[in-house]
Amino acid sequence: MKFRKERQKTFEWRGKPIFVKHRTEAEIKREQAVEVSQLRDPQKDEDRVQRPEWSILIGVCTHLGCIPISNMGEFGGYFCPCHGSHYDASGRIRKGPAPLNMAIPDYEFVNDNTIVVGKP
């Protein structure tokens, strides 16, 4: 699937939503500037992506398994309406009851516009 810039698409993989987002330069800079020591589940943005412009996440809140809404919340990423967890555009928990960052599936880029999720 080809994406337009600033676009997100949700796919289903093994019964779970996969959020694939093409991030803007501003989002990339914002997420890379986050002070990791201030995060509940500390991870650098660079450790959560293979290519800075692409964020690929399992779209499940780590609190009780609800599905967050994209492009919402106080940190410009995802908001879980069930209990109020806020994630940034890298899928890192920033506020609310979720204990961990959103999970990242195993994936690989086949070319510039195609990824394969999961291991063969």
Going residue by residue through the chain, which has 120 residues, state the pLDDT in tens, using 9 for 90 and above. 455 555 889 999 999 999 999 999 999 999 999 999 999 999 999 999 999 999 999 999 999 999 999 999 999 999 999 999 999 999 999 999 999 999 999 999 998 878 999 976
Q: Residue 95 gets which letter from DSSP?
A: E
Q: Residue 116 gets which letter from DSSP?
A: E
Closest by CA to 52, choosing from 18, 24, 17, is 24
Which residues lie across from 72 on neighbouring strands?
77
pLDDT at 72: 92
**Annotated catalytic residue, options 22, 63, 83, 86:** 83
pLDDT at 113: 79
Q: pTM score, two decimals?
A: 0.91
Tokens at 90, concatenated: 């890298």
Query: Domain residue spans in the chain?
Result: 8-117
Annotated catalytic, 86?
no
CB atoms within 10 A of CB 116: 11
By residue count, the chain amounts to: 120
Q: Which long-range contacts (CB under 8 A, 24 or more apart) does 25-28 make?
A: 27/76, 27/89, 28/52, 28/53
Structurally, what CATH architecture does the domain formed by 8-117 represent? 3-layer Sandwich (2.102)
pLDDT at 1: 46
Does residue 23 contact residue 90 with C-beta atoms inside 8 Å? no
pLDDT at 96: 98
**Residue type present at position 118:** G
pLDDT at 3: 54
